[in-house]
Amino acid sequence: MFKDVFRYYKSRNPPPELTKVLDFDNVDTLESKIKRVTIKDIHDLKNYGLQPAKTWEAYELIEHPGLIFIKNPFSSIGQRYWTVRCLQDYTKRPNKTNLDSFKLVPEGKEWWDVCQNNHDKLLLNKLRWVTLGYHHDWDTKIYSEDNKGEFPKDLSELSRHVAQALDFNFNAEAAIVNFYHMDSTLSGHTDHSEQNLEAPLLSFSFGQTAIFLLGGKTKEDAPTAVFIRSGDIVVMSQDSRLCYHGVPKILQMDSRFWDCFNQNNLVNKEFREVVHICKEETLWKPFADYLNSSRINVNVRQVLKRGQKRLCSESEDKK
Ligand SMILES: O=C(O)CCC(=O)C(=O)O
């Protein structure tokens, strides 16, 4: 079932009918399908590019308890900030990327700089993922203490604040940053590698719009399709945490949220240079160009259980 719906939305010829895709830009049409979620008032959000919590609109899908959708709570400069961090900073070594094994980026150089300096669009489009913190192992799907980097403090704080606003305790310990182009897809899967499966999974998106499919615990359950636009946050918690999900299609955006630029203040003292890039149109331009035909998704997970200090190795597990 999941596969059939995936194939339907992925199809170019004929293109899919989009009327059944849940659209949080038109919540009036979703009345029977969603319920409003209460947001706790959290302070200091502007440091992370977020609007005041009392302005957020968050909804839970009635048919998928625990799936929470927060309609873009970012300011436009906030969207710019996270875009710059993902492209320019999180792609730096020792974080891991899909490009590592191809040795396409010379030692001592960084992917974003090489792409910009050489106008290398091919290399730009080859980046598909970056992993942060406990690195996702794409083969074994097992996290390990031996395969772990530092988790970015700003992303950890952003995640903690968003989780707190929804009344969750959350410690960001692993993330996959996914980079999609107009023909990219992500097939249906569940995220079950984390030892803590009670903690929610937080997903931040910037750039082009995605059709996101959320199914049930098996591939036989029919999925619901939802538009995810730039700035939207999806939280998979409770009954939805282990459900099948995927992205069958990326669509050209409805509007460029990151360009509705007012000098809304973003004060991040630790990353002044990033904020400077966001405010200077000429410095921001290469990032805007990237977003015009791509989507960035930052998928953040807690790996350890509360109070757990480290992962046990498999042999320790068996004791
Ligand atoms: O791109 C998305 O919205 C979903 C990404 C995802 O499911 C994953 O990284 O596991």
318 within some domain: no
Our count of domains for the chain comes to 1
Best CA proximity match to 248, nearest among 14, 9, 4, 2: 9
Q: Measured in angstroms, how far is the CA atom of residue 246 from the centroid of ligand 1?
A: 7
- Residue 318: pLDDT above 70? no
Whole-number percent of the chain with pLDDT over 90: 86
Give me the mean pLDDT over the 22-37 stretch: 94
Query: What proportions of the chain, in percent to the nearest 5, are helix, strand and coil?
Result: 30, 25, 45
Domain assignment of residue 204, yes or no: yes
| 232 pocket-lining for ligand 1 (C-beta < 6 Å) | no
105-149 tens-digit pLDDT: 999 999 999 999 999 999 999 999 999 999 999 999 999 999 999
Measure the CA–CA gap between 54 and 39, rounded to whole angstroms: 7
Cβ 208 under 6 angstroms from ligand 1 = no
Classify residue 319: in a domain, yes or no.
Answer: no
Strands (E), the chain: 34-36, 57-61, 67-71, 96-97, 129-133, 174-181, 186-189, 201-207, 209-214, 224-228, 233-236, 245-251, 294-301
110-114, 202-206, 313-317: segment of lowest average pLDDT:
313-317
Residue 141 CA, distance from chain mean position: 19
What mean pLDDT do residues 150-158 have?
A: 97
Ligand 1 centroid from CA 297, angstroms = 7
In a domain, 56, yes or no: yes
**Within-domain flag for 67:** yes
In short, whether 297's Cβ falls inside 6 Å of ligand 1 is yes
Q: Which position has the token pair 């830009």?
A: 25
* Domain of residue 27, residue span: 2-312
CATH of the domain at 162: 2.60.120.590
Report pLDDT for 255: 64
